[in-house]
Amino acid sequence: MFKKSILNFRRQFLVFTGLFFFLTAWSQRPDADIFKMEGKELTIQPILHGTLALEYDGKVIYVDPYGGAKAFEGIKKPDLILITDIHGDHLNEKTLDGLGVEGVTIVAPQAVADQISEKYKNQLVILSNGNKKSLMGIDILAIPMYNLPESDDAKHVKGRGNGYLLNLTGKSIYISGDTADIPEMRNLNDIDIAFVCMNLPYTMDINQAASAVLDFKPKIVYPYHYRGRPEISDTEAFGKLVNAKNKDIEVRLRNWYPEYE
């Protein structure tokens, strides 16, 4: 009887411990945001740096999976993956391997296709800047992303990587990728939700980002991919710059740098 009680205690302890660590890792992420769109829900979950998960109409999209599989605990497996660029915080095969995404459709530019492992190549849908593809009822347009001024030795040259514009039954979501305040961003129209980067020298500072956002006027903007020097990546200051000139743009600040270790 005593041995049985000890065994039951051990089982309960292990279950509790496992649940505690699972909830601790999960709770380090900010809460997901949920939007009502055409009678359906869009869920946006910030993950890490330039990584996020979207769920809409039963489909789950991962953008630039990075941070290891643990960063995705509690999140449904993806039906679709978008990769913007070749750098390790965007094309991260360690994370892909840990997530077990064999067979999942991956949308990526040619530069990513050239570098990704052979085992993933048959999953790729390659999009070049300006090209569009409809997958699983989602229209996906590849938007240029690059540094200014343009140069051959820039960290992001024009044509190599993709930003993405998603259309979900009439609602548009813009994901900037690593870019400066390029004309292709400034000329966007009717954007419902935008994810805009801001970390020099890889992308832009908050002044450039705010100026671009004030030009294309998304209804909601999330600053993301902002880890860097505080004086150039202050997201609260970015929000103030935007709302000082346009109070109708909702700036959503979220913690994109939880600790998963």
| Mean of the per-residue pLDDT values of the chain | 89
State yes or no: pLDDT of 17 exceeds 60. no
Cα(2)–Cα(230) distance, integer angstroms = 59
Mark 63-79 as b/e (b = at least 16 C-beta within 10 Å).
bbbbbbbebbbebeebb
Q: What's the rounded mean pLDDT across residues 213-217? A: 98
Q: Are 116 and 108 in contact (CB under 8 A)?
A: yes
Question: What confidence score (pLDDT) does residue 258 get?
Answer: 86
Closest CA to 191 of 176, 171, 162: 171
Q: What is the pLDDT of residues 52-82, one digit of tens each?
A: 999 999 999 999 999 999 999 999 999 999 9
State yes or no: pLDDT of 22 exceeds 50. no
- Segment among 10-19, 20-29, 87-96, 180-189 with least mean pLDDT: 10-19
| Domain residue ranges in the chain | 1-27, 31-251
Residue given tokens 């991260």 in the structure block:
92
Q: Say which CATH architecture domain 31-251 belongs to.
A: 4-Layer Sandwich (3.60)
Cα(37)–Cα(173) distance, integer angstroms = 12
Question: What confidence score (pLDDT) does residue 153 get?
Answer: 85
| This prediction's pTM | 0.88
